[in-house]
Amino acid sequence: MDNGQKTTDRQRVALVIQYLGTHFHGWQRQGRGERTVQSEIETAIETVLKRRVPVIAAGRTDAGVHAAGQVAHFEATGKIPASRWATVLNSRLPKDILILTSVAVPDTWHARFSASMRRYRYTIYTDKQANLFVRPFAWHYYYQPLDASLIQEALSPLIGKHHLAAFRRAGADRKHSWVEVQGASCGRSGPFIYIEVQANGFLYGMMRLLVGLLVSVGDKGRSVSEFTQIWKAERRDLVKYAAPPQGLCLLRVGYPDSPFRSEVWENSQPKLVLSPNYSSSRMH
């Protein structure tokens, strides 16, 4: 009899998920036959529970975008311990999705609404020579040199709570564009430039639009002050280009009193490195 209390065979399970976004039409189930991460995981769960169960993610990544530490939850029934669900699902999932860990969480815990931060990394490859093994994970920007120090200078004023409508694509269901940027950095390692941004949440398309405009600062097409004026004035019309999706990766999602062990996040997306004899003369 249902007396309103939780039964012992029902539990909320939280997952930390990695996926290569190359062959996915984003995270969210589309209903039009496109391959998505959510639909693949829900199908795997259905083979176990014999019914469709929604999987709720911390954030929806676009088509082609990767995740090294996406978080999601679902309602499980049956006798499988929460800690075993990672193994159970990995045996049923395609090779471009990996469940890093699975844990039991309270019914009040929510992958999206309980999160206090998300962190993204964007990788730009600046070598003049293309590289097939770099191509799936970076934007090959060979047009002209990029100054990482100028990009860092442009990022600094973004830290804090701001209305970032200039970096919001149309079609979002969010009712406002306020974002609390908790950290932002840009650094170079050989031919690779890494841009990382941490915030309480991200607008639809925000990181790719942000990087697209930052590149115009790095190649000195715009000044740092022009960049700042554009987003402060909410000039979405002047943010014309979105960086390509393959350079973007969701690194991690943070929670107060996180249910996940800290080792899950360590080196979740290793940075790309070239051999020590790499010639800097080839680098922009």
Ordered structural domains, the chain, with CATH = 11-105 (3.30.70.580), 117-258 (3.30.70.660)
Cβ neighbours of residue 103 closer than 8 Å, sequence gap 6 or more: 13, 14, 82, 83, 259, 260
pLDDT over 90 (residue 144): no
Query: Per the structure block, which two tokens stand in for 11?
Result: 């539990």
State residue 1's pLDDT score: 35
pLDDT over 80 (residue 169): yes
Helix 148-155 to helix 206-218 angle, to the nearest 10 degrees? Answer: 130
Cβ neighbours of residue 211 closer than 8 Å, sequence gap 6 or more: 122, 124, 139, 195, 242, 243, 247, 248
With pLDDT > 90 as the criterion, what percentage of the chain qualifies? 83
Query: Per the structure block, which two tokens stand in for 109?
Result: 């815990």
State residue 281's pLDDT score: 57
d(CA 151, CA 186) in angstroms, rounded, equals 6
CA distances from 204 to 92, 162, 174, 199, 262 (A): 31, 15, 8, 13, 28
Q: How far is CA 271 from the centre of its chain?
A: 15
The predicted model scores a pTM of 0.92
Q: Tell me the average pLDDT of the chain.
A: 92
State residue 4's pLDDT score: 40
What average pLDDT does range 260-264 have in this prediction?
A: 91
Between 171 and 164, residue with greater pLDDT: 164
List active site positions.
62
239 DSSP 8-state letter: -
pLDDT over 80 (residue 282): no
